[in-house]
Amino acid sequence: MSATKRHHRSLAVIVNCLGVMAAVPALPAAAPRAAAAPAHPAPVAAPAAPVGQATPIQTGAPAAPPAVPPEKPAPVQPSNPPVTVAMTAANTPAPGYQILVRNGGNTTIEATVRQELPAGSKATTVTGGGRATPAAGSSTPAEVTWQLKLPPHSTTTLNTALSTTTPGQSVTAPACAYGADGTRPYDCATATWAATATPGTQVAAAPPVWRRPPVLLAALAALLVVTFGVLAWWWSRRRRSGAASAGTAVTGAGAPAFAGGPADPAQRGTVYSRPATAGRAGRRTPPVWLMTGAAAAVLAGVVLAATWTATQRVAAIDTGKQPTSGAWMGRSVTGAVGVPLRETAFEFTVYRVACGVGTLPSTSAGGRQCLATVGVRNLTSGEQTWHGQLQRAYLPNGNWVAADEDATRVANLGRDIFAQPVAAGSRVLLPLVFTVHGSDQPKQLELRSGVFSAGVRVDVP
């Protein structure tokens, strides 16, 4: 054997020995129970890694358990409160309501029933021991309050009558039943009293005929037609009289003499004037004042018609509506407290808005909390999620604040209502909290289901 071959074989032996020495630490330790349990063979060791590389992890023992996907939050399910509220409007000349409060539980429940009073109205009749209470920081009554003890399986009937400063208009006055804390509602209901026509009702007088724009336009058009007719008749008659005078014969001494004729008038013949031709008469044009007056009348009529049309279109524009094109989905709707308002996915009903509640801790220094009782109904066939930052309260100065999610969670007994979707076709009743600074009362609430939804606006009295 040559020296070169012996050198290569020696090098191969050394490399194999090094590989065996590197594979020894990677072999699994012998288990004590391996010989006693032959039915469970030991796992096969992984092949040895080359020198200088990390030893691979054994395939028989996983390094970590598989990751578990996070659970989807369950949708908010409508609760089955022990106290329910039903409400109807009375068929009376003045606004009146009947409120039925039912306790379906097996125990006596103490509840507070509140009925909101619309702006410009006051309670004239209250039954069941209720009393009209003013809003915080105001002397004007804002609601009627009852403190009730509801026996088990009983129904309590309450009646109210209101007087308003705007007779003949519909009046909505919702009512809610609250628990002992006064913030968590059991149930709410709403009813709208509609004015009915009575023999003593006076219908607003229509404006006089001469103040109606259509009548004025018709009169102007008739005046222009009559004026043009009179001018045309007068001009035609003038042309006929001119043509008749031009055709009259000229005789006697007034006739001109022919050049080169006899000088004796007795020898002259009778000379007749040439009759006027139709072409010369037709070339005569109307006077300038007639054409100018007709043009001015036509221009005045066009300007008046255009002004009236533009005024009617501007008066029909509603500046309070949100844009209905572009990024917005649907049409923004504005209504009063207690009126159900629909948008793309939800139907919102604001039953009550009260500031300075005092039962919830303020989340910011100097903040004053306004609690809104809101009913949310999912109109779609799937679950819908809404967000607290999209629910806003607008102040009289034009500024707005979003819903206070921390305070809202406290009002909902620690439940995050914005983290849970609303089930399809269900209705939930929830308190929303807005933290405002200063003593201003929110004038309007803006509620929406999604970022691109036009949402609804609720006027706060």
pTM for the whole thing? Answer: 0.59
Give, for 189, the enclosing helix (H) or strand (E): strand 185-189
> What pLDDT, on the 0 to 100 scale, is given for residue 223?
76
> What pLDDT, on the 0 to 100 scale, is given for residue 257?
46
> What pLDDT, on the 0 to 100 scale, is given for residue 432?
95
Tell me the CATH number at 144. 2.60.40.740
What the block records as the tokens of 183 is 């913030």
Is residue 403 a part of any domain in this protein?
Answer: yes
- Per-10-residue mean pLDDT of the chain, 461 residues long, equals 59 65 53 44 48 46 54 73 95 94 95 92 92 69 90 96 88 93 89 71 53 69 74 75 59 47 55 53 59 71 70 53 52 92 95 76 67 94 92 94 94 91 92 90 93 92 84
Tell me the CATH number at 448. 2.60.40.1240
Whole-angstrom CA distances from 188 to 136, 157, 218 are 22, 15, 55
Is residue 350 a part of any domain in this protein?
Answer: yes
Number of domains in the chain: 2
Distance (Å, whole) CA 319 – CA 316: 9
Is residue 48 a part of any domain in this protein?
Answer: no
> What pLDDT, on the 0 to 100 scale, is given for residue 459?
95
**Domain end call among 159, 193, 227:** 193
Give yes or no for a contact between 75 and 421, defined as CB atoms under 8 angstroms apart: yes
Distance (Å, whole) CA 141 – CA 130: 13
> What pLDDT, on the 0 to 100 scale, is given for residue 189?
96
Is residue 308 a part of any domain in this protein?
Answer: no
Is residue 127 a part of any domain in this protein?
Answer: yes
Q: Domain range for residue 412?
A: 333-459
Q: How far apart are the first and last CA of the chain?
A: 112
Alpha-helical regions (H) of 316-437? 405-411
Residue 293: closest CA among 391, 224, 215? 224
- Give the bridge partners for 113, in sequence order: 146, 177
Q: Burial, 366: exposed, middle or buried (Cβ in 10 Å; 0-12, 13-18, 19+)?
A: exposed
Give yes or no for a contact between 172 and 118, defined as CB atoms under 8 angstroms apart: yes
Is residue 414 a part of any domain in this protein?
Answer: yes
**Other beta carbons within 10 Å of 333:** 18
**Domain end call among 193, 215, 247:** 193
Is residue 374 a part of any domain in this protein?
Answer: yes
**Domain end call among 162, 193, 224:** 193
Give me the helix-helix angle, 213-246 and 288-315, nearest 10°. 170
- Give the bridge partners for 148, in sequence order: 111
Longest dimension (CA), the chain: 177
Spacing of C-alpha 202 from chain mean position:
35
Is residue 245 a part of any domain in this protein?
Answer: no
What the block records as the tokens of 15 is 């490399």
> What pLDDT, on the 0 to 100 scale, is given for residue 232?
74
Give per-residue pLDDT as tens, 308-320.
666 665 555 544 4
